[in-house]
A and B are shown apart, each in its own frame.
Chain A
Amino acid sequence: MVRKMMVVCLGLGILAALAIPGTASAAENDGTVYVVHGIPGVPVDVYVNDAETLPDFQPATVAGPLTLPAGDYNIKILAAGDPATGTPVIEKTVTLPARANVSLVAHLDASGTPVLTAFVNDTAAAPAGEGRLVVRHTAAAPAVDVLANGSPAFTNVTNGQEGQVNLPAGTISASVVATGTTTPVLIGPADVPVEAGMATIVYAIGAPASGSDPSTLGVVTQQIPLTASAMTVNTGTSGLLDGDRGVPTLAIAGIGLALAAFVVSIGGLRRSRTTA
């Protein structure tokens, strides 16, 4: 009973605290940021608001998660080792929305120019036992189709675009082809794990062979947890341990007896007063 009262007091305290404006924690609105390096062959230094945040960040790797307050951030990407005052390979101001989960991807656009794209990751729950496969076109290539186990899963995806689908946990054999074709395969086939409760994000990166330059096409894979979905657990069928059984009937009988005693004694009191 004491515990219940304490809980009630605590509840009132919380209500009182909520009633005071401006006490909400800023952390509730923080966003989550990953940084993906999708430019083959060029290690870089990443500066956030002029502070060196990822020194010597290697191509085809993913960094994070970073928890940051919502707001605008100046992102500068320089060739690794260049002075902070040097000319950035990419410079861009990105907006981190409140509570958003974002992947900042340094990659090539369709014409081969380095750019920074902020993809917002959908972390909504997938059905129980399923995961989410996300594909993102971040390579210096025209529109592509993504084949999953040989069949087109995403079609006519252009640079900077993405597609996603929820799938039962398992492994997908994925390959990338020019849109409307099935050969030649530009990237893959590659085994992509789809894990329940996780988003597996596959980035197509690099550029096709050009003149004497060999193809640098490839993939970077990133996995992030999704919001968990509600589950049901039924692990008892015999009722051997019943927290409530029997208590109410006993208590009700007790109240009945006590009520009867109360009524009788009050009646007696009245008579006793009248006769006094």
Chain B
Amino acid sequence: MDSDRTGRFRILTMTAALSAAVIVVVVGFLVLRDPSPRVDRVGTLTPSSGATKPASPAPTVPPVTYPTVPPATASSTVVPTSLVVPSIGIDAPIDGVGIVAGTDEIEVPPIERVGWYRFAGTPGGPGSAVLLGHIDGEGRQGVFFRLGSLEPGDPLQVGLADGTTRSFTVVGRDQFPKAELPPDFFSRGGPSRLVLITCGGSFDESLGRYRDNIVVVAEPAS
């Protein structure tokens, strides 16, 4: 073998190895890449069952007095009226929203406003209080455009109709295909928490909708 052939052999070997490496890396990236590069799961979104579980007692019941459930009273609900999230620049009014008639779809408020789903909990009350907002619409960014960049520890405040304010701290963020959005986020039972929902993931041009929901959970600030 002369030096010219050895050189060519080396170059071809290196090219083969390099291109193989590129294929492996790119295919690997495609296979393993997160379907949503912008939103990673952070913190914990603890599911809460409908029933409250105060403790896990031994088979013999200890002599403890349990809280008495107050009798039901009609519409003592104090509704939320404003949401402030300093870390992503949200300071928006809240409207109560219900169901789009005959569907399981929650009504959405105008693009700059936040919706409070009035068929779940109230902020600070038992169970999940659900706030939703547009990520975009009419070619503009919506009130929850940056929801996916909230991080655990970020503070937020909800103003209530009685003039008081409830403070919360973000504990987790996650993303779900719309059909797999866990019903538990709308639970009336379980610990008090704030659930913020918008859209995310890839955009389905044929339907004019995003394929996923971005969910941020916050708990009452201690």
How far does the alpha carbon of A254 sit from the alpha carbon of B28 in the complex, in Å? 13
Chain A interface: which of B58-66, B87-95, B164-172? Answer: B58-66
User: B221: shortest Cβ distance to chain A, in Å?
Assistant: 24
How far does the alpha carbon of A248 sit from the alpha carbon of B202 in the complex, in Å? 12
Closest B residue by C-beta to A71: B59
User: A42: shortest Cβ distance to chain B, in Å?
Assistant: 16
A152, CB-defined interface residue at 8 Å: no
Closest A residue by C-beta to B180: A230
User: A212: shortest Cβ distance to chain B, in Å?
Assistant: 29
User: A128: shortest Cβ distance to chain B, in Å?
Assistant: 5
- Per the 8 Å Cβ criterion, residues 51-86 of B in contact with A are 51-57, 59-69, 71-75
A225, CB-defined interface residue at 8 Å: yes
- Per the 8 Å Cβ criterion, residues 89-137 of B in contact with A are 98-99, 103-106, 108, 117-120, 126-128, 132-137
- Asked whether A53 and B16 contact (CB < 8 A) given A197-B119, A239-B210, A269-B9, the answer is no
B36, CB-defined interface residue at 8 Å: yes
CB of A259 within 8 A of CB of B197, answer no
A61 partner residues in chain B, CB cutoff 8 A: 68-69
CB of A235 within 8 A of CB of B12, answer no
B13 partner residues in chain A, CB cutoff 8 A: 265, 269
A169 partner residues in chain B, CB cutoff 8 A: 119
Name 7 extra pairs, CB < 8 A, besides A233-B105, A242-B203, A276-B1.
A196-B120, A224-B51, A233-B181, A245-B202, A265-B12, A265-B19, A269-B13
A-B contact pairs, 21 of them (CB 8 A): A4-B32, A32-B52, A62-B71, A67-B57, A128-B103, A220-B71, A222-B72, A223-B69, A225-B127, A227-B187, A232-B105, A234-B108, A234-B209, A235-B132, A235-B133, A235-B135, A237-B138, A240-B145, A242-B210, A258-B19, A265-B16
Q: Which residues of A contact B (CB under 8 A)?
A: 1, 3-4, 27, 30, 32, 34, 48-49, 51-55, 58, 61-69, 71, 73, 101, 123, 125, 128-129, 169, 171, 191-193, 195-198, 200, 220-245, 247-248, 251, 254-255, 258-259, 261-262, 264-266, 268-269, 272-273, 275-276
Q: Which residues of B contact A (CB under 8 A)?
A: 1, 5, 8-9, 12-13, 15-16, 18-20, 22-23, 26-30, 32-40, 50-57, 59-69, 71-75, 98-99, 103-106, 108, 117-120, 126-128, 132-142, 144-145, 148, 178, 181, 183-190, 197-203, 205, 208-210, 212-213
